[in-house]
A and B are shown apart, each in its own frame.
Chain A
Amino acid sequence: MKVVLRNPRREVEVAGGRRVKDVLKDLDVLPETVIVIRGDSLITADQMVDDGDTIELRPVMSGGSASRGGASGEASPSMIGDRR
């Protein structure tokens, strides 16, 4: 079966005939870091995938921030000021 990965987009072939969670484990992907797409549907980790299937593991992480505090900022005096 074919697995589509993103960032960068690429495809890998893995064995089918097993559950999604086994495919994720095989690829060392944490279940909470992706949504699993087959066709135009989401599928859960306990569902079976076959050799002829194509699934996409779409990452869900986004953002970026240089500040130690993390993601993109709080409203405060410093949203215009100097502290972040």
Chain B
Amino acid sequence: MKCRKCGGQAAIELRRHNAAFCVDDFVEFFRNQVREAIRKHRMFGRDERVLVAVSGGKDSLALWDVLIEDGYQTTGLHLDLGIFDYSVESRAKCEAFAAARGVPLLVSSVADEVGGPVPVIKQVTRRPPCSGCGLSKRYLMNREALQHGFPVVATGHNLDDEAATLFGSVLHWQMEALPRQSPALPSTHPKLVRRVKPLYRLSERETAAYAFLRRIDYIVEECPFAVGATSIAHKGILDRLEDVSPGAKHNFLFGFLEKARPAFERAEAVPLNECARCGQVTTGTLCAFCKLADQVKRAR
């Protein structure tokens, strides 16, 4: 198989683009997709400080690598979830990545902030672990960005993540979730920072290939709590669809963003309040993070 650009030996085939690329041309293709995402959605400018949420996995470290290489002012934020050896290794990968490139990394511990690590949250809430984990991550990402003066948080969500999210939302017709599905969500309150997903144009196979070719040392092992997660099941279904119909995931997500999403946007915005305890933004009186922390404290 030959590289579409230079005719040399291809390293990766991209069926949805009906193309294959050598190492150098794939790396350039990948970076161009990120640049296009940033440009098209005006995610951030070169004069802005970007907080990059990094888990230690391929997606977020690949994103950070591209932004560093393109000269953006970035700082990493790693949230230590306290999930046994998995979190120890994940944190070590982020610290090694930052140290090797001489870029700053902030680390925040879910156990310190909530009162217990994710395994304890799982026990206390009796809900799937991803639920309390996701809530804590969203809260802490926003709060850390505010505290350190970052106007924007960039996450490593890729095309597969976004297609799976959309698939789940459509399966259950979650009318509140659909208008929020976007590669770039603006700040709608002084205490909510902008959230952007510069990898949304790239599949997770492409981010894995980029991370490998860039020799990024990422954690290959899956989170032990991801087994059986709904989004993983949805990804499996979409993978089978993609196998028989290359480009299906791309068309599903991009078709929604370009044609359908505006129809789901609500006419009236939800009123936003500040949490009576921590001051972060909520639609109620006490935010979900503070409620979760209360629940963990009561149980311990």
Contact = CB atoms under 8 A, between A and B. Distances in A.
B272 A77 contact: yes
B229 interface: yes
A70 B164 CA distance: 6
A44 B153 CA distance: 35
Interface in A21-54: 30-35, 37, 41-47
Contacts of A64: 130, 222-223, 225-226, 229, 231-232
Interface in A54-77: 58-77
Given A61-B204, A61-B232, A84-B134, A69 B169 contact: yes
B283 A75 contact: no
Contact of B128 (A43, A59, A66): A66
A62 B205 CA distance: 10
Contacts of A72: 130, 134, 137-138, 155, 157, 161
Nearest to A66: B128
A75 B192 contact: yes
A72 B157 CA distance: 8
Interface bin, chain A: 35 or more
Contact of B177 (A33, A42, A47, A74): A74
B204 A67 contact: no
A80 interface: yes
Contacts of B128: 66
B234 A30 contact: no
A71 B165 contact: yes
A83 interface: yes
25 contacts: A7-B221, A33-B205, A42-B11, A44-B11, A45-B13, A46-B1, A61-B204, A61-B232, A65-B231, A67-B134, A69-B165, A69-B169, A69-B172, A70-B231, A71-B165, A73-B134, A75-B142, A76-B180, A76-B185, A78-B180, A79-B139, A79-B141, A80-B282, A82-B287, A84-B135
Closest 10 CB pairs of A and B: A75-B195, A64-B226, A66-B128, A70-B165, A64-B229, A79-B138, A70-B168, A66-B130, A60-B208, A75-B185
